A and B are shown apart, each in its own frame.
Chain A
């Protein structure tokens, strides 16, 4: 899944909640992608179901309840696998595209 690696990568720096995660992702891609922000929650839901992340309700400073997500050991393993995969893809593509300056 294309949304999985970014989410897992953000969570490896510590627990976070939905709004923060999507906000960070949008910041990182510089507003070039027009995401429907709400769709991150079903993804988080699925990742939790696959035991890559776990969640916990916490009381925030503002007094609101927030659901914080954090990475599980299984999620860390998955992220490593994903990283290897994407690095591979990256190196292949960058070499291929280096031969095509006109692209």
Chain B
């Protein structure tokens, strides 16, 4: 059964939550409601109908409260503190308009300001790109702190020469001599000046220049995740090749390239240049853009040895031949321990060793010394 007194009392209580309504105002509203109900009852409505209609007509108490607040507040916006703040300041359009007008009126100064801001932003963007490129350079290699490229510093009668290249047999010699050296690999581009190499499959013929001969141990030094094929056996046999994802797509589309043949033309100075068959034995992820060692295809080192057997013995000519080594984890370093000590105490004698080896072998007169240098990843880009 509908209880009018109860309903009015409840309605009155619901006004209490409204901060803007003072007691007098609430009483006024209640009286209004009662008057309205009386009026509707006189017209023949039931109590419940009259109450509902009266409440509906009197309107939302929140809206009324807000109007009360607007009537008394000194705030420019008229927004009561219990109402949600607008996302955009109500004067935003005004600010924009004023801004545009100022630009129109003060053309020279606006030009200077805007041009200055543009230059500043551009500089900032360039600096951020440069710094982030530098900071992440080569960092995708998992053990980048332990990977070094071996360089040589040769002093002889002709003069001094520093280079980032090293003799072919050096890596395996270091590995067998020092327990600290965990792995070594040679990285040799087909041509010293990275000329183009013709790669053919069917009617697809392209020139590529990011090809390298590497030892299979390269996969244990560098971070080159395999997508297809086996890491352990990928570059063991002569005339095998590992492709990056991009190259696989380029020459084989969606097909599985494992076991397929690519023809590659490389001049080994043997007098004849012809296309030779290479079997694809693996697909690895693409090399990131900011690394010093950018590869598209990795050819097996045995291929190179087959064509140039002297490479394994040659301590003299090592132009364009790179060697990378990976040292064991820090705690495993035998003897003096930390890296700097390792390089100082172990590598200088090695240099002398190499030197004496050179002298004993066949070098005419090497007057002073050979020093081996190590360049860690991510610092240099020669």
Chain A residues within 8 Å of B, Cβ to Cβ: 17-19, 22-23, 36-39, 41-43, 45-46, 49, 57, 64-67
Contact = CB atoms under 8 A, between A and B. Distances in A.
A37 B71 contact: no
The dominant DSSP class at the A interface is: helix
Contact of B36 (A36, A37, A66): A37
B32 A18 contact: yes
A89 to B, nearest CB: 25
Contact of A38 (B27, B32, B35, B72): B32
A39 B64 contact: yes
B63 interface: yes
A42 B64 contact: yes
The dominant DSSP class at the B interface is: helix
Interface residues of B, number: 23
Contacts of B32: 18-19, 22, 37-38, 41
Contact of B31 (A42, A49, A64): A64
B28 A39 contact: no
Given A38-B63, A41-B25, A42-B71, 7 more contacts: A36-B60, A36-B64, A37-B36, A37-B59, A45-B72, A57-B24, A64-B31
A7 to B, nearest CB: 13
Nearest to A45: B71
Contacts of B39: 23
Contacts of B27: 65, 67
B336 to A, nearest CB: 87
A41 B68 contact: yes
Contact of A36 (B34, B35, B59, B71): B59
B34 A64 contact: yes
A65 B70 contact: no
Contacts of B58: 36-38
A42 B70 contact: yes
A66 B27 CA distance: 8
Given A45-B25, A64-B31, A64-B34, A37 B57 contact: yes
A21 B39 CA distance: 14
A98 B240 CA distance: 98
Given A39-B63, A39-B64, A66 B31 contact: yes
B64 A38 contact: yes
Contacts of A19: 31-32, 35-36
B172 interface: no
Contacts of A65: 27, 31
A32 B31 CA distance: 25
| Max chain B C-beta neighbours (<10 A), residue from A36, A38, A45, A46 | A38
| Max chain A C-beta neighbours (<10 A), residue from B28, B31, B58, B72 | B28
Contacts of A64: 31, 34
Given A18-B28, A45-B25, A67-B28, A38 B61 contact: yes
5 tightest Cβ-Cβ pairs between the two chains A and B: A36-B59, A42-B67, A46-B71, A19-B35, A38-B58
A26 to B, nearest CB: 9
Contacts of A38: 29, 32, 58-61, 63-64
Contacts of A42: 64, 67-68, 70-71
A94 to B, nearest CB: 32
A23 B60 CA distance: 18
Contacts of B24: 57, 67
